[in-house]
Amino acid sequence: MQPYVTIRHTLIALVEDKPGVLNRVASLFRRRNFNIASLNVGRTEKPDISRMTIVVDEDGSSPLDARRVEANLYKLVNVMDVQDVTNQPAVFRDLALVKVKATPAQRSEVANLAGIFRANIVDVAPDSVIVEITGTEDKIESLVELLRPLGILEMVRTGQVAMTRGTASGARYVPGTNGNGHYVD
Amino acid sequence: MKKSGADILWECLVREGVEVVFGLPGGAIMPAYDVMLNYPIHHVLVRHEQGAAHMADGYARASGKVGVAVATSGPGAANLVTGIATAMMDSSPVVFITGQVHSHLIGGDAFQEIDVTGITLPITKHNYLITRADEVAQAVREAFYIARSGRPGPVLIDICKNAQVEKVEFEYPEKVSLPGYKPPEHAPKADLQRAVELIEKAECPVILAGHGILMSGAMEELQMLAVKTHTPVAMTLLGLGAFPASHPLSLGMMGMHGEAYCNLAIHNSDLILALGMRFDDRVTGNLRNYAPNARKIHVEIDPSEIHKNVFVDVPLVGNLKSVLRDLIPMLDEYDHETWLAQIGDWRAESQARDILSWPDDDKLYTAKVIHDIWEATSGDAIVSTGVGQHQMWAAQYYHFDKPYRLITSGGAGTMGFGLPSAIGAWFAHPDRQVWVVDGDGSFQMTQAELSTAIQEGADVKICIMNNHFLGMVRQWQEFFFESRYSGTPLRSPDFTKIAEAHGIPAQLVLKSGDVQPALDFARQTQGPVLIEFQVEREEAVYPMVPTGADLASMIRRPHRME
């Protein structure tokens, strides 16, 4: 048997900024058995629209998972647009705060590592520091692995956000829906 | 002019054309009930809110309009849940209105507070929690639009008590603005062209007609397509009536209990034209070997149905009626005489096995009783059913020539649907014959609505096929669980006495010779009538595609031993 290859898809959804929309999206993913790796919600340049960045793992058994996610998101009345930016020219960012055990003698080691990754030390306590790092998921993973031997006390990550470069837009698979060769008379 | 939220609610319902609502009052919906009397809307008092949900659903399916059910907060709304899920699974346009506790009390576990929008989120097309009177009009307007447009479905509006009482300036919202909701109408030309190419090449095509035909009103287009391309039409359970059963191109029902010749035609086809259906597991059997030689065209309004169960060659996303109107002029006329002759052979073989070909032995077989009901009603009744064996027999033996006649719970398979949905259908068409074909198990789930039927004078003829079992489960136990009848034998009350206690005339039928007089009695009596048929206990519905088997590997009715 072939091992399953997990394919990670990053989808951007524009949704109406109304109470309960996040719940609707989360509920949809649960009941359709979609596997969310991360979900980020925030405001946009338009006051009544929120933007979600959804990272889903496809188990490789069906090449149609990203399409299914998109088509199901459109069933929600509050979802206005969905695009898959996975293989598109786009900027992907995740932010992490990592609290690392560091005695005064170890601080310079942490500072060195942070410097290499262009991360910042944003808090210093007598026996720990908080490192703030922004970047792609794998860059953050690399720093976290290097900090782990020192002792990670706490960590928080925002989940990935994404934006396509220039005028590029993501892939839209679902015919007859918003933004996509859309045939509404 | 200032109006209370409750007044705005009814005002908006009147403007949506609502004439009847089904419900049961309680604390949190009392302000709405209080002013209801001032509006030209008839309220049908149910005995359990599940009944209200099914009545509104039956009304919607029979009329093509939006049904409305009303309940109070907490348990009232929770009792609707099965009915909401039933409407959701079958894409039935129903608006549910529930009372909710005062908005300041929400989240505080107040008396009769239940998170109804939370509970119903996965089983509604959309729902609203209304905390202020000035939100009522917009929500009602949107709810009706969402319920009936696109792929129809249930929408729930949960209105806090204070939002019913508060008075605000009322202005009817003429327009609905839903930036994220744009149901597709036409399919792209290029996709239509690809479909035409597949249809041109096909030698053994089959049309699969689903509920979407009825929902989009595309019966005429379907007939034009079938006749022009000389293509036989198989129907899903909910698609029955989309194409006349008596038409030479009709294959009847497909699927687990579909006609054998219909399933064989699908299995051996080289092109499937799926119209407004969703390849439910009950119609496909084993997906890996489903119509293995067929190219597939799928016309569907909901893009999430495309490739969901069956991968298709050409998806056409749009309103079925519009897509067919675009497609038909692009097609030439075809001739599939050889293919239809092959299907004709299969059909003849099926008819030889059919129970209707058996000589009369004075016993009662549900299939034969339903055949008699079909004849007695000239095939023109609205037939509503519960769920189980009797439902499948009704689908097989009541040959629906007209649309919107079969009212049945397909996707959800909700027992107890029959009586309340028939009452709802009667309100949609009080001029038509409305018959309930029910089982002894199904009937008892919503039997309380007999009171509603008599209170409203609903002219429904209730036929209970009593086989003293939860028959479909018994059949599965016989076939797949070595006949261990676990939890299926059923001791029921004397249904005729139950009916008589409600003031409903009733008859008991024990042998085949008594069927006709009983049906005549039902037809000639004004108002509700109940007839109990004590049918054969261990009859099975044939053919049957066992779960997980190929569509073509059916358990067939054994030939009769003489």
Task: Give the pair of three-digit tokens for residue B474.
Answer: 């018994």
* Phi-psi group of B457: left, alpha or beta (phi > 0 → left; psi -120 to 50 → alpha; rest → beta): left
Flag if B121 and A27 touch (Cβ within 8 Å): yes
Most confident of the ranges A23-32, B345-354, B442-451? B442-451
Flag if B185 and A76 touch (Cβ within 8 Å): no
Task: For residues B245 and B114, give the distance between their C-alpha atoms in angstroms, rounded to a whole number.
Answer: 46
pLDDT band for position A168 (cuts 50, 70, 90): confident
Chain A: residue whose CA lies nearest to B119:
A27
pLDDT band for position A61 (cuts 50, 70, 90): low
- CB-based contact, A64 to chain B, within 8 Å: yes
- For an interface test with A, give the residue of B185, B304, B306 to mutate (most A CBs within 10 A): B304
Three-class SS state of B559: coil
Clarify whether B111 is annotated catalytic.
Answer: yes
| Residue B176: HSE in the Cβ half-sphere, 13 Å Cα cutoff | 16
Burial A81-115 (b: 16+ CB within 10 A, else e): bbbbbbeeebebbbbbebbbebeeebbeebbebbe
- CB-based contact, B189 to chain A, within 8 Å: no
Burial B61-80 (b: 16+ CB within 10 A, else e): bbbebbbbbbbbbbebbbbb
The CA distance from A57 to the nearest CA of chain B, in Å, is 18
Flag if B179 and A80 touch (Cβ within 8 Å): yes
Flag if B185 and A31 touch (Cβ within 8 Å): no
User: Does residue A179 register a pLDDT over 70?
Assistant: no
Task: For residues A100 and A148, give the distance between their C-alpha atoms in angstroms, rounded to a whole number.
Answer: 8
Judging contacts by C-beta atoms under 8 Å, the chain B residues touching residue A74 are: 303-304
For β-strands B314-317 and B295-300, DSSP reports them as parallel
Same fold yes or no, A7-87 and A90-162: yes
pLDDT of res. B374 = 98
* Residue B53 burial (10 A CB sphere; 0-12, 13-18, 19+): buried
User: Does residue B562 register a pLDDT over 90?
Assistant: no
Segment B388-401, tens digit of pLDDT: 999 999 999 999 99
Asked if B303 contacts A175 with a C-beta cutoff of 8 angstroms, the reply is yes
Asked if A25 contacts A96 with a C-beta cutoff of 8 angstroms, the reply is no
Clarify whether B49 is annotated catalytic.
Answer: yes
What's the DSSP call for residue A137?
Answer: H
Find the CB nearest A77 among B181, B302, B308. B181
Judging contacts by C-beta atoms under 8 Å, the chain B residues touching residue A183 are: 184-188, 318
- CB-based contact, B318 to chain A, within 8 Å: yes
Domains of chain B, first to last: 2-169 (3.40.50.970), 189-346 (3.40.50.1220), 357-534 (3.40.50.970)
Question: Measured in whole angstroms, how far is the alpha carbon of residue B279 from the centre of its chain?
Answer: 16
The CA distance from A83 to the nearest CA of chain B, in Å, is 14
Find the CB nearest B184 among A31, A79, A176. A176
Crossing angle for the helix pair B389-397 and B471-480, nearest 10 degrees?
A: 100
Flag if B182 and A182 touch (Cβ within 8 Å): yes
pLDDT, mean of residues B370-396: 98
Segment B206-262, tens digit of pLDDT: 999 999 999 999 999 999 999 999 999 999 999 999 999 999 999 999 999 999 999
* Residue A140 burial (10 A CB sphere; 0-12, 13-18, 19+): buried
Find the CB nearest A27 among B122, B186, B317. B122
pLDDT of res. A64 = 61
pLDDT of res. A67 = 85
C-alpha triplet B420, B425, B428: angle, nearest 5°? 140
pLDDT band for position B413 (cuts 50, 70, 90): very high
If you classify domain A90-162 with CATH, what class do you get?
Answer: alpha beta
Segment B149-206, tens digit of pLDDT: 999 999 999 999 999 999 999 999 999 989 889 899 999 999 999 999 999 999 999 9
pLDDT of res. A174 = 77
pLDDT of res. B358 = 86
Judging contacts by C-beta atoms under 8 Å, the chain A residues touching residue B117 are: 20
Beta-strand (E) ranges in B276-381? 295-300, 314-317
Clarify whether B461 is annotated catalytic.
Answer: no
The CA distance from A177 to the nearest CA of chain B, in Å, is 7
Q: How many other CB atoms are there within 10 angstroms of residue B106's CB atom?
A: 16
Q: What is the residue-averaged pLDDT of chain B? A: 97
Clarify whether B472 is annotated catalytic.
Answer: yes
Segment A131-142, tens digit of pLDDT: 999 999 999 999
- For an interface test with B, give the residue of A27, A30, A177 to mutate (most B CBs within 10 A): A177
User: Does residue A169 register a pLDDT over 60?
Assistant: yes
Asked if B20 contacts B44 with a C-beta cutoff of 8 angstroms, the reply is yes
Clarify whether B469 is annotated catalytic.
Answer: no
Helix residue spans in B149-256 (DSSP H): 161-165, 189-201, 211-216, 219-229
Flag if B125 and A31 touch (Cβ within 8 Å): no
For β-strands A90-101 and A161-164, DSSP reports them as antiparallel
Q: Which residues pair with B506 in a beta bridge?
A: B530
Task: Give the pair of three-digit tokens for residue A153.
Answer: 């006390």
Asked if A39 contacts A55 with a C-beta cutoff of 8 angstroms, the reply is yes
User: Does residue A182 register a pLDDT over 50?
Assistant: no
Question: Measured in whole angstroms, how far is the alpha carbon of residue B237 from the centre of its chain?
Answer: 8
Task: For residues B269 and B93, give the distance between their C-alpha atoms in angstroms, rounded to a whole number.
Answer: 34
- CB-based contact, A47 to chain B, within 8 Å: no
Asked if B465 contacts B444 with a C-beta cutoff of 8 angstroms, the reply is no
Task: For residues B299 and B515, give the distance between their C-alpha atoms in angstroms, rounded to a whole number.
Answer: 43
The CA distance from A72 to the nearest CA of chain B, in Å, is 5
- Name the residue with tokens 């499948």: B392
Burial B519-534 (b: 16+ CB within 10 A, else e): bebbeeeeebbbbbbb
User: Does residue A88 register a pLDDT over 70?
Assistant: yes
- Which ipTM did the prediction report? 0.91
Q: What is the dihedral of CA B421, B321, B183, B146, to 10 degrees?
A: -30
The CA distance from B101 to the nearest CA of chain A, in Å, is 18
Cβ-Cβ pairs closer than 8 A, A with B, add up to 72
Per-domain residue ranges for chain A?
7-87, 90-162
Q: Which of B334, B331, B135, B321 lies closest to B231, judged by CA?
A: B334
Task: For residues B100 and B97, give the distance between their C-alpha atoms in angstroms, rounded to a whole number.
Answer: 10
pLDDT of res. A4 = 56
The CA distance from B82 to the nearest CA of chain A, in Å, is 17
- CB-based contact, A115 to chain B, within 8 Å: no
The CA distance from B50 to the nearest CA of chain A, in Å, is 24
pLDDT of res. B533 = 98
C-alpha triplet A86, A88, A91: angle, nearest 5°? 85
Question: Measured in whole angstroms, how far is the alpha carbon of residue B54 from the centre of its chain?
Answer: 10
- Name the residue with tokens 């929770």: B78
B349-352 long-range Cβ contacts below 8 angstroms, 24+ apart: B349/B260, B349/B261, B350/B259, B350/B260, B350/B261
Find the CB nearest B307 among A24, A64, A184. A64
- CB-based contact, B511 to chain A, within 8 Å: no
Asked if B38 contacts B56 with a C-beta cutoff of 8 angstroms, the reply is no
Burial B210-239 (b: 16+ CB within 10 A, else e): bbbbbbbebbebbbbbbeebebbbbbbbbb
Task: Give the pair of three-digit tokens for residue B463.
Answer: 């036929």
Asked if B59 contacts B29 with a C-beta cutoff of 8 angstroms, the reply is no
Find the CB nearest B318 among A20, A178, A183. A183
pLDDT, mean of residues A148-160: 95
pLDDT, mean of residues B276-283: 96
pLDDT band for position B349 (cuts 50, 70, 90): very high
User: Does residue B544 register a pLDDT over 60?
Assistant: yes
pLDDT, mean of residues B453-475: 98
Q: Evaluate if pTM is beyond 0.90.
A: yes
Judging contacts by C-beta atoms under 8 Å, the chain A residues touching residue B120 are: none
pLDDT band for position B437 (cuts 50, 70, 90): very high
pLDDT, mean of residues A80-91: 92
CATH 3.30.70.260 matches A7-87:
yes
pLDDT, mean of residues B86-110: 97
Q: What is the residue-averaged pLDDT of chain A? A: 88
- CB-based contact, B88 to chain A, within 8 Å: no
Three-class SS state of B195: helix
Q: Which of B207, B241, B235 lies closest to B328, judged by CA?
A: B207
Find the CB nearest A71 among B118, B125, B306. B306
- CB-based contact, B325 to chain A, within 8 Å: no
What's the DSSP call for residue B510?
Answer: -
